[in-house]
Amino acid sequence: MEKTTLKSPKRQIQLIDPPGVDITPPEEASAIGRVGFKKKKSVEILSPYVEAYYDAKKNVLSVNAVVYVDHTKVINEVLDYSIFQNTFVDLDGNPQLQFFIVYDMPEELSEDLVIYEIIFTADADNFIGGLSNIEQIQTFLWDVDPVASRGTVTNVQSG
């Protein structure tokens, strides 16, 4: 895990990568729309919407994630993000997969969010179990200056 320290006029910010290996795809994420909330109920980030598919013929686990990003973090329609894949062993001794979609979130969310579709595949070489055994994955949005993260559990479908 790599740590980077930045200096801010107000305070010192320490950037922290999540556990695992960087599997960021070379393609940029696609902006698929915008949404505005006139009355924010909280400053919490929104959980990603995630679908996961395992293709047995190719031994590929592909993930489609829809994430909501504060419009101030999007420059020229490009989202600066990375994806980390982590393996852990659950209490029953079964290997599990986690994915972290990482970007620098603002301290307070605005009312305007850009919706991105992020498509990636699991790295089978960095997973200690067989991908065919995965029934569920965990996917998180991760703030690099770690104010917050938000995640979801997704069932893996055949496909």
Find how far residue 139's CA is from the centre of its chain: 6
Grade residue 77 by pLDDT with cuts at 50, 70 and 90: confident
For residue 34, pLDDT beyond 70: yes
Predicted TM-score of the model (pTM): 0.80
In the predicted model, what is the mean pLDDT of residues 57-86?
88
Q: Which residues of 93-119 are buried (b: 16+ CB within 10 A; e: fewer)?
A: eeebbbbbbbbebbeebeeebbbbebe
Q: Which two tokens stand for residue 62?
A: 């592909």
Q: Is the pLDDT of residue 17 over 50?
A: yes
Higher pLDDT, 147 or 53: 53
Express each pLDDT in 79-133 by its tens digit.
889 999 999 888 888 889 999 998 877 766 667 888 999 999 999 998 887 899 8
What's the pLDDT score for residue 8? 47
Q: Is the pLDDT of residue 60 over 90?
A: yes
Question: Which one, of 158, 79, 84, 76, lies nearest residue 126 by Cα?
Answer: 84
The dihedral sign for the CA sequence 131, 137, 138, 139: positive
The share of the chain scoring above pLDDT 70, in percent, equals 78
